[in-house]
Structure 1
Amino acid sequence: MEKVSSKKVSIIIPTLNEEKYIEKCLNSLIENDYENKEIIIVDGLSTDNTKEIIDRIKNENNNIDIKIIDNELKITPVALNIGIKEATGDYIMIAGAHTTYSKNYISACIKRLEENKCDIAGGLVITQPGKDTAIAKAIANVLSHPFGVGGAKYRTCNEKEEYVDTVAYGIYKKEVFEKAGLFKPELKRNQDIEMNLRLKKIGMRIMLIPEAKSYYYARDNYNDLFKNNFLNGLWVILSTHYSKKAYSIRHIVPLIFVLFLILGTIASIFSGIIRIPFLIILSFYVFLSIFFSLKIAIKNKDFKLFFPMLFSFWILHISYGLGSIYGLFLIL
């Protein structure tokens, strides 16, 4: 390994009932080629075997400082803030329990921080299916495609090192939180969106490092996909209660799309003038859905993916938009 820094990195992992993934996550971080690290797991009182798995791994790796702290409120930003306050490192990594990390993830990101190219660095997220089923594979593909997730470059396997508006599993210079403050505990979701916008406002530089890779295990069924993205869309809107700038334009595109579907359908019933452009735009969206679903199925040489891809695109967009509409009703 190229010697990057002797400074310590504190890795913070919020958990709640993560027995399915936590062992893979921890092992990938323990095996990372950056040696000076501590792992702080902030657990929301898990009721499964999460804590037992962590204790076993901790006992098997007594050369690494692994701490576990209870998060009685069970809220992610609260867990992150607990971890940041407990951290003794010069750098802080926000990690996800559903994810594993390439061996060079930490060292590649810290190298850019040490070169003062940025204040926050993070790698690509390669989305993995949660199960070996056509639906799970389709969901993983949708969450990696620009038509599914828009302009989130860290999700779409961008190969260019560049400044971006957000990264997942970022490694932060510790002074970032001294300047910008901690995560807003009121935001049960989307706290990372608000934080990144706050950081950019005060001039912090966020860099995508493609050679650093993480592997995220996605939801494996339509019901979980719908619920997760409904809540994401809901909290994009609810977050405006707690922050003036808690989202960017791309985060409200699904809201605009679903409002277009609802209002356009109603208006088309009563007006032929509106009906024609409405159907043209809707047909174009359906065409794009079919085109990208077919393209991905051909690329994977698996035509069983076509219909699951199609439904996954629709569920992703509509659930997020419906969540945002529900958020509007709640704040009005």
Structure 2
Amino acid sequence: MQLPPLSARPAVSYVMPVLNEAEFLESAVHTILAQDYLGAKEIILALAESSDGTTEIAERLAATDPRVRLVDNPERDIPAGLNHAIAASTHPVIVRVDAHSELTPDYTTLAVAALQRSDVPGIANVGGIMRAAGRGDVQRAIARSYNSPFGLGGGAYHGDGTPGPAESAYLGVFRREAVAAVGGYDRAILRGEDWELNLRLRRAGFTVWFDPALQVTYWPRASFADLARQFFATGTWRAVLVRKYGRANPWRFFAPGALVLGLAVSLASLVLFCAGVLPWASAWPVLLVPAALYVAGILLAVIRIPEQRGLRDRLLTAVTLVTMHLSWGTGFLRGIAFGGGRVVDRSRVE
């Protein structure tokens, strides 16, 4: 679908849902204000009710810079917050930003240039590379797994690549007309809202564009408990997307759920074997093969993933991968069976 051409230097609205982000919010806003983009800018922070001083930080930022404006997000959910921020914004280009992400200085300039490409019709959204980073040993292990295909799988924005049409985009730099044409974010999808919006954009005839020159630093969860809660919610809502859109979902959405089922079969076979119900000749294929293949995969990942410095790092990497896979897979099976309900990631809240 064609879009009207942008001006040479279109004004940009940055939209950010914010909930309990006292540790990250100020840095995230400063990376926006430090963008080298020469067009007009505004930042809309959609504030949910926080308990860690985030609101006070946001109010101080808004008081010191008129480009920062605040709107309420009473629902506390990300899609609702994004829609509130977009509704309050005014400019033709919308840049989604997360409070726990930091943009490189040239991010907006490069993204707007991609939106202005005349050789690719209908570019409605542009995204680039998410580079996870960590400060402590556990957060660094989680970041390594985010950055590896052994952790999050095949999304282009988790690794390097060449510019081109994409299935989805991390965060995203959007044409306002395109977002309006498909109705914005679906407030009923509490996780995976980016993928779902990009699917509707593509189905409407727009192009989602990947450009690896765009770089975003992402600060992941810093504990295994928080990671498990995050990935359980993510798996649950991926299942909701599978239920809603069927074959439009990539195969990788199904892999963690299949893994959990395989390991469950192994465990059940072990119980039946120990109870004398299954003879060894019948039990060993289902008892050993799924678990053995998974252990072998984890060992391979621990060997291949870079930036590990000794046995402790490798053990932390293994724990991270198992936490990611099993939490996502368990959540996925829950979502397939029961839907999303009110399962939501509150790992940054408690």
TM-score, normalised with respect to structure 2:
0.86
Deviation of 1:47 after TM superposition, in Å, equals 2.6
Partner of 2:126: 121
- The one-character-per-residue Cα deviations of 1:221-259 (angstroms, maximum 9, x if unpaired) are 110110100011112223467666784332121111111
Bigger mean CA deviation after superposition, 272-281 or 185-194? 272-281
Deviation of 1:280 after TM superposition, in Å, equals 3.3
Change (3 A) 1:205 1:275: farther
The separation in 1 between residues aligned to 2:250 and 2:190, in whole angstroms, is 18
The separation in 2 between residues aligned to 1:246 and 1:15, in whole angstroms, is 30
Deviation of 1:278 after TM superposition, in Å, equals 5.8
Partner of 2:343: none
Structure 2: 5+ residue runs without aligned partners?
1-6, 341-350
- The one-character-per-residue Cα deviations of 1:193-246 (angstroms, maximum 9, x if unpaired) are 211222222222111211111000011111011010001111222346766678
Change (3 A) 1:197 1:109: same
Deviation of 1:281 after TM superposition, in Å, equals 4.2
Partner of 1:279: 288
Change (3 A) 1:241 1:162: closer
What is the DSSP-based 3-state SS (H/G/I as helix, E as strand, rest coil) of the residue aligned with 2:156?
coil
What is the DSSP-based 3-state SS (H/G/I as helix, E as strand, rest coil) of the residue aligned with 2:303?
helix
What is the DSSP-based 3-state SS (H/G/I as helix, E as strand, rest coil) of the residue aligned with 2:157?
coil
Q: 1:188 aligns with which of 184, 187, 190?
A: 190
| 1:8 and 2:11 matched | yes
- The one-character-per-residue Cα deviations of 1:260-309 (angstroms, maximum 9, x if unpaired) are 21124324643634632662343232122112213336x44343201011
The separation in 1 between residues aligned to 2:93 and 2:254, in whole angstroms, is 32
Change (3 A) 1:277 1:38: same
- The one-character-per-residue Cα deviations of 1:147-203 (angstroms, maximum 9, x if unpaired) are 1111011112x1422221111120011111222112111122222221122222222
| 1:42 and 2:46 matched | yes
- 8 A Cα contact 1:197 1:245, kept in partner: no
| 1:153 and 2:156 matched | yes
| 1:308 and 2:316 matched | yes
- 8 A Cα contact 2:125 2:173, kept in partner: yes
The one-letter amino acid of 1:294's match is I
What is the DSSP-based 3-state SS (H/G/I as helix, E as strand, rest coil) of the residue aligned with 1:311?
helix
Partner of 1:198: 200
The one-letter amino acid of 2:258's match is I
- 8 A Cα contact 1:194 1:247, kept in partner: no
The separation in 1 between residues aligned to 2:81 and 2:221, in whole angstroms, is 22
The one-letter amino acid of 2:211's match is I
Structure 1: 5+ residue runs without aligned partners?
none
Deviation of 1:331 after TM superposition, in Å, equals 4.2
Q: 2:23 aligns with which of 20, 32, 36?
A: 20
Q: How many residues align?
A: 323
The one-letter amino acid of 1:324's match is F
Partner of 2:35: 32
The separation in 2 between residues aligned to 1:248 and 1:282, in whole angstroms, is 24
The separation in 1 between residues aligned to 2:240 and 2:151, in whole angstroms, is 22
Q: CA RMSD in A?
A: 2.2
Bigger mean CA deviation after superposition, 114-123 or 22-31? 114-123
Percent of pairs identical after alignment?
24
The separation in 1 between residues aligned to 2:96 and 2:318, in whole angstroms, is 33
Deviation of 1:66 after TM superposition, in Å, equals 1.3
| 1:52 and 2:56 matched | yes
What is the DSSP-based 3-state SS (H/G/I as helix, E as strand, rest coil) of the residue aligned with 1:210?
strand
Bigger mean CA deviation after superposition, 47-56 or 12-21? 47-56
Deviation of 1:142 after TM superposition, in Å, equals 0.6
- 8 A Cα contact 2:107 2:214, kept in partner: yes
The separation in 1 between residues aligned to 2:207 and 2:287, in whole angstroms, is 41
The one-letter amino acid of 1:69's match is V
Deviation of 1:93 after TM superposition, in Å, equals 1.1
The separation in 2 between residues aligned to 1:89 and 1:159, in whole angstroms, is 30
Bigger mean CA deviation after superposition, 33-42 or 268-277? 268-277
TM-score, normalised with respect to structure 1:
0.90
- 8 A Cα contact 1:233 1:319, kept in partner: yes
The separation in 1 between residues aligned to 2:81 and 2:176, in whole angstroms, is 17
The separation in 2 between residues aligned to 1:292 and 1:30, in whole angstroms, is 39
- 8 A Cα contact 1:42 1:82, kept in partner: yes
- 8 A Cα contact 1:186 1:242, kept in partner: no
